[in-house]
Amino acid sequence: MTTRVTALLATLLLTLATGGIARAENLIVSVSNHRVTVTPNYSGEELVLFGSIERDSQSRPPGTAYDIVVTVTGPRADMVTRRKERKLGIWVNVDSREFIQVPSYLGIFANRPIDNIASPDVQRRQQIGMTNFALPQRMGPDVANTVASDPFRSAFVRLRTDHGLYREQTSALTFLTPTLFRTGIPLPAEVPTGTYNIDIKLFAGGAFVARTETAFEIVKVGFEQFVANSAHHHGLLYGLATAMMAIMTGWLASVIFRRD
């Protein structure tokens, strides 16, 4: 029995050692700003992600060409896409689809087209690229992902893209040296507040090699933060105050522009 246990332990140690050697490359990354503040005059900005590929004696031969895909996801929420039709001269909603816990912001940045980085099978397994990113929908009693050609999914992605909240840029990441890279992360003016996760995946010769993650947050400050906190924590009082302000504004306007 002791001999068998010793053999199993030796096999386990060998497996762990082999697994450690297989992951010879490591990613080290940093973002230019881990806390973005939104003020009344905020009009958007661009963060910069820097990174390097750390190699050791077990890494691939010098001169190996690497590829990197960076996926940035903002706070998740349920969203609805509606399909409209013109009936009797009026546009009306005829159908809708609810997307369940999808990113409010989705940015995909790579050094070249996704199809040139990995095979379709690897793309699906690693969920790289807008086509392969999971956007689950409620379909009857079930929740499931759909193909990229699904009309509701296509419309949802198009609308988010038009607002700058979804984007795929396959020439945004630049290698400054064979192992040092950078990319910009554009943040539009209407970007939601919350925590943003950054997933960085390294590929070589079409194979997935390594992965690391980091994050940053977007927060409101000043008067906007006060309004946001009031609406979130004191909804009833906030609603009453807003209604009273609207009434007072209307009354004041009627007094100012009243004709004698």
Q: What is the pLDDT of residues 80-104, one digit of tens each?
A: 887 766 666 666 656 788 999 999 9
DSSP string across 61-101: PTT--EEEEEEEE--EEEEEEEEEEEETTEEEEEEEEEEEE
**Is residue 10 included in any domain, yes or no?**
no
d(CA 251, CA 126): 59
**Is residue 11 included in any domain, yes or no?**
no
Per-residue pLDDT tens digits for 45-77: 999 999 999 988 777 777 789 999 999 999 999
Amino acid letter, 114:
I
**Is residue 109 included in any domain, yes or no?**
yes
Place of tokens 């992360």: 185
Q: What is the mean pLDDT of the chain?
A: 83
238 shares a domain with 148: no
66 shares a domain with 178: yes
Domain count, the chain: 2
**Is residue 59 included in any domain, yes or no?**
yes
d(CA 240, CA 223): 18
Q: Looking at the whole model, is its pTM more than 0.95?
A: no
| Residue 19: predicted pLDDT | 44
Per-residue pLDDT tens digits for 218-227: 998 865 555 5
Domain assignment of residue 70, given as a range? 22-221
211 shares a domain with 171: yes
158 shares a domain with 242: no
Buried b (16+ CB within 10 A) or exposed e, 104-141: bbbbbbbbeebeebbeeeebeebebbbbbbebebeeee
230 shares a domain with 217: no
Per-residue pLDDT tens digits for 194-244: 999 999 999 999 999 999 999 999 998 865 555 555 555 556 665 676 677
**Is residue 132 included in any domain, yes or no?**
yes
**Is residue 188 included in any domain, yes or no?**
yes
Per-residue pLDDT tens digits for 127-178: 999 999 999 999 888 888 888 889 999 999 999 999 999 999 999 999 999 9
Q: CATH number, domain at 164?
A: 2.60.40.3880
pLDDT greater than 80 at residue 2 = no
**Is residue 15 included in any domain, yes or no?**
no
| Residue 241: predicted pLDDT | 63
| Residue 94: predicted pLDDT | 61
Element (H, E) at 184: strand 180-187
